[in-house]
Structure 1
Amino acid sequence: MSKTYQIPKALTTMKSKLLIISQVFEPEIGSGANRITSIYHYISKVFEVEVLTNEPSYPNDFVYQKQDTKKNSNITRSRAYIKHSNNMIVRLFFYAEITISAVLLAVKRSRVDIVFLSTPPLFLGLAALFVKRKKLVIDIRDLWTESLRGIRRYNNPVILCVSVFFEKMLYKRADLIIINSEGFYEPLEQMGICKSKIKWIPNSIEAKEFMLKNAEPSDVCKVIYSGNVGLAQDMDMFLELAADYLGDSSVQFEIIGYGSNYQALRTEMTRRNLVNINILGVQTREETLEIVSKSDIAFVGLVEHPAFENVLPGKIVDYLGLGIPIIGQVSGYSKSIIDAANAGVTFTKDSFRQPAVARALHQLFRNVSYRQALAENAFTYANKHFSASKNYQRLADILLDTMEGK
């Protein structure tokens, strides 16, 4: 049972004003929107919160046609007319448009006590700087410039130099920095950011979302991938696994996917005739968690680049909370979390064909008792480290301390 947050008596009569600025917010899908929406609900217990965000549009507008995005008067949304695109020039114009829209909305706001800026995209920070405020708090979900280098699509030195300059300037002006990965401590310190103003609040799971099923003997072992198929995700090893078990009806694969590389993934599946992969398409978070919870194994893959050594994808947290053993083509911080939880098998492209990895994967696919042991490990670790009621309430305390200058 989650602990009820006790509102300090000093705040029961008048709450401080906090403005969230974020590109993504519910009902938009993805870990970024999940994170900032959950944070909003928790800190609204102790602050008077407004939100500046965009109309949901990822991966497309059609997904949200039946969603009522105007029911909450505390949420102000702007509409982006430039759509998501794989073209880097178009994407830069998209970021420019949402930044300008955010600035125009920000300058109209009355003075607030805290601006809570969720990044990326980094240049939404311009909007935060235009708001009259006492404190600036930046929630970093990805290190912007490092991510640009990692996806290898924005290699223009001018763009990277401007990004580095603005990133350092913005972080140094922040009164508090929140990170969702402990792997961000070192890069931020290398930018000259004092560690004392950096606080780790990981992506977390609501009490109602924690699930742990008992593994039962079955004729089929289902391996699932859920989430974005974009520039930072690597699905090559998922396809390799499917190809390895193509003639084996006891192992089946499933994808709940969307994103900039999603169509290319489907094209490659068709080219390789991977008929053992079932495609489900876009689902809500609730639907996704329900489907994943009924799977036996979950996959995560990141592009192998130093930029992604420090990240922790939200899907890893979700998989752990659902008690699903993980197959991870990951290294760095993501690998360390899966290994610390003793919740799965990790490898890189270079090590994928090594005998030890092959044996571990074979045991995972064939041994129900082994999967159950890993599932219980995952669930226990998530409950200890990724509980929303603990982490986001701790964030509320940190924000209150920041207001008081502690």
Structure 2
Amino acid sequence: MKSVLMIVQNFYPEIGSAGNRMKNIYLHLKRNGFEVTVITLKPSYPNQSLYQDTKFWDEESIEEDVIRIKPDKVKRYTSNMGKRLLHYLEAMWLFIYTIIRLEKKYDYVFATTPPIFPTFAALIAKKKMKAKLITDVRDLWPESLIGVGVFTNKWVLKIAFFLERKLYRHSDFIIINSPGFRDYIVAKGVKEEAIQFIPNSLTADELTLKNLLTPVSEKVIKVVYAGNIGLAQDLKKLIAVAEKLREHKRIEFSMIGYGYRISEVEKEISSRGLTNIKMINAMNRRVTLHEVSTSHIAYVSLVEKEVFNKVLPGKIIDYMCVGKPIVGDVDGRAKKMLKEAKCGLVAESRNVDEICQHILTMASDPALREELGENGHRYAKQHFQWSKNIKGLINVMEASG
């Protein structure tokens, strides 16, 4: 039996696309006959207290394969980027320390980025164990940090780009969750045949949720955003949309979220005196999907920067899962997929007026919403099933011996 050591910063039971992706890769490697050990941090995203609730710990058997470490000195998720960087560095050293103490050797080491710093531990594990290194690229980091303009220290960026190049070049295989990352990684010196596209995907159970849903009342049209409220999402624009549509009493907005900018967003809503938009606390994945399913329209947005044109937001796939029509303030890969799937309306101008018009169009046309939602669900079943997509990773691992 081949063995895999996963070195990941986010893992079950943490909410968010990173933790969910790592959990599903772990589960499917196990189901395909691999022995898997996970080194990860104790759950703390977006905060540690969230995971005192037992509803997040719904798969106890996973813990048998997990080594959890806890950084003590630096608060993990803070609005101070300097402190977050210190956390990443502390986590990196704790990963390295744990790996050095491991007696068991593994056939494969699996790492994921971002952030880039803890993946340095994977390079050490590869060398120590003479293992093949699989790197999962979920975002182009540190490129995306530059894109949102919050971190400009040239020395830190220089180190981060050095680690990025080193990681890519020493990886035996690279998997990406957006095809938009391929050219960027090839330009860093990686052979194209070493790169495998494995999108964020859905389980068989998740894909059946739509069939279990009861019809949603048309008395109030609910527009929902679910996911990270961070630097890349540009949710102030959604607040501006809610303000512009505040006289449309039948339309209500909600954000189910967590992340770097949640306090800022809450203050913005309060300062504008908006009562047609509410914040909903972070929930586990299944409850979140159910909450999204009770809405009529789903919203996705990304900051208008070139680096984010390469991104394929996982929330689009989640919206498709429960058959919700999507209004998108996106470009690049995300826009291409929405149009290919025919599951939403995209704001071509990227402005508030056009977003408002798309919401009003959907709000007044139940048949259009039904058609777009069905298209999205059908597309998800065709392209985003974990049981199918994981085969790309399994095949390259088995072919490598």
TM-score using structure 1 length: 0.91
Indicate the residue corresponding to 2:80 in structure 1. Answer: 87
Matched position secondary structure for 2:98: helix
CA distance 1:326–1:376, change in 2 (3 Å): same
* Residue in structure 2 matching 1:181, options 178, 194, 199: 178
Q: Distance in 1 between matches of 2:215 and 2:305?
A: 35
* Residue in structure 2 matching 1:172, options 169, 174, 193: 169
Indicate the residue corresponding to 2:363 in structure 1. Answer: 365
Indicate the residue corresponding to 1:156 in structure 2. Answer: 153
Indicate the residue corresponding to 1:290 in structure 2. Answer: 290
Alpha-carbon offset, residue 349 of structure 1: 6.2
Indicate the residue corresponding to 2:11 in structure 1. Answer: 25
User: 1:136-285 alignment to 2 at 5 Å?
Assistant: 136-210=133-207, 211-212=209-210, 218-285=218-285
Alpha-carbon offset, residue 394 of structure 1: 3.5
Number of matched residues? 387
Q: Distance in 1 between matches of 2:322 and 2:375?
A: 11
Indicate the residue corresponding to 1:105 in structure 2. Answer: 98
Indicate the residue corresponding to 2:318 in structure 1. Answer: 318
Q: Which residue identity does 1:31 align to in structure 2?
A: S
CA distance 1:214–1:349, change in 2 (3 Å): farther
Are 1:16 and 2:2 matched, yes or no? yes
Indicate the residue corresponding to 1:5 in structure 2. Answer: none
Alpha-carbon offset, residue 73 of structure 1: 2.6
Q: 1:272-323, CA deviations, whole angstroms, 9 ceiling, x for partnerless residues?
A: 1110112211111111011001111111111111111101111111111111
CA distance 1:176–1:129, change in 2 (3 Å): same
* Cα pair 1:42 1:393 within 8 Å, conserved: no
Indicate the residue corresponding to 2:124 in structure 1. Answer: 130
Q: 1:167-186, CA deviations, whole angstroms, 9 ceiling, x for partnerless residues?
A: 11110110000000000011
Q: Which residue identity does 2:383 align to in structure 1?
A: H
Q: Distance in 2 between matches of 1:232 and 1:80?
A: 26
CA distance 1:376–1:350, change in 2 (3 Å): closer
Alpha-carbon offset, residue 217 of structure 1: 6.2
* Cα pair 2:145 2:151 within 8 Å, conserved: yes
Matched position secondary structure for 1:353: helix
Q: Distance in 1 between matches of 2:181 and 2:82?
A: 28
Matched position secondary structure for 1:178: strand
Matched position secondary structure for 1:51: strand
Q: Distance in 2 between matches of 1:218 and 1:396?
A: 45
Alpha-carbon offset, residue 241 of structure 1: 2.0
Structure 1 residues 149-158 or 41-50, which shifts more? 149-158
Are 1:73 and 2:64 matched, yes or no? yes
Q: Distance in 2 between matches of 1:387 and 1:70?
A: 23
Matched position secondary structure for 1:257: strand
Q: Distance in 2 between matches of 1:139 and 1:199?
A: 9
Are 1:381 and 2:379 matched, yes or no? yes
Matched position secondary structure for 1:101: helix
% same residue? 36
Q: Distance in 2 between matches of 1:360 and 1:51?
A: 44
Matched position secondary structure for 1:308: helix
Q: Distance in 2 between matches of 1:359 and 1:264?
A: 26
CA distance 1:170–1:104, change in 2 (3 Å): same
Structure 1 residues 371-380 or 209-218, which shifts more? 209-218
Alpha-carbon offset, residue 358 of structure 1: 5.3
Alpha-carbon offset, residue 346 of structure 1: 1.5
Q: Distance in 2 between matches of 1:167 and 1:142?
A: 12
Are 1:341 and 2:341 matched, yes or no? yes
Indicate the residue corresponding to 2:305 in structure 1. Answer: 305
Are 1:64 and 2:58 matched, yes or no? no
* Residue in structure 2 matching 1:118, options 108, 112, 128: 112
Alpha-carbon offset, residue 108 of structure 1: 1.9
Q: Distance in 2 between matches of 1:202 and 1:229?
A: 21
Q: Distance in 1 between matches of 2:60 and 2:94?
A: 17
* Residue in structure 2 matching 1:397, options 376, 380, 395: 395
Structure 2 unaligned spans of 5+? none
Matched position secondary structure for 1:237: helix
Matched position secondary structure for 1:122: coil
Q: Which residue identity does 1:26 align to in structure 2?
A: Y
Matched position secondary structure for 1:136: strand
Q: Distance in 1 between matches of 2:340 and 2:325?
A: 13
Q: Distance in 2 between matches of 1:290 and 1:179?
A: 28
* Cα pair 1:299 1:328 within 8 Å, conserved: yes
Q: 1:256-284, CA deviations, whole angstroms, 9 ceiling, x for partnerless residues?
A: 11111001101000111110112211111
Aligned CA-pair RMSD: 1.7
Q: Which residue identity does 1:91 align to in structure 2?
A: R
Q: Distance in 2 between matches of 1:66 and 1:215?
A: 30
Q: Which residue identity does 1:281 align to in structure 2?
A: N
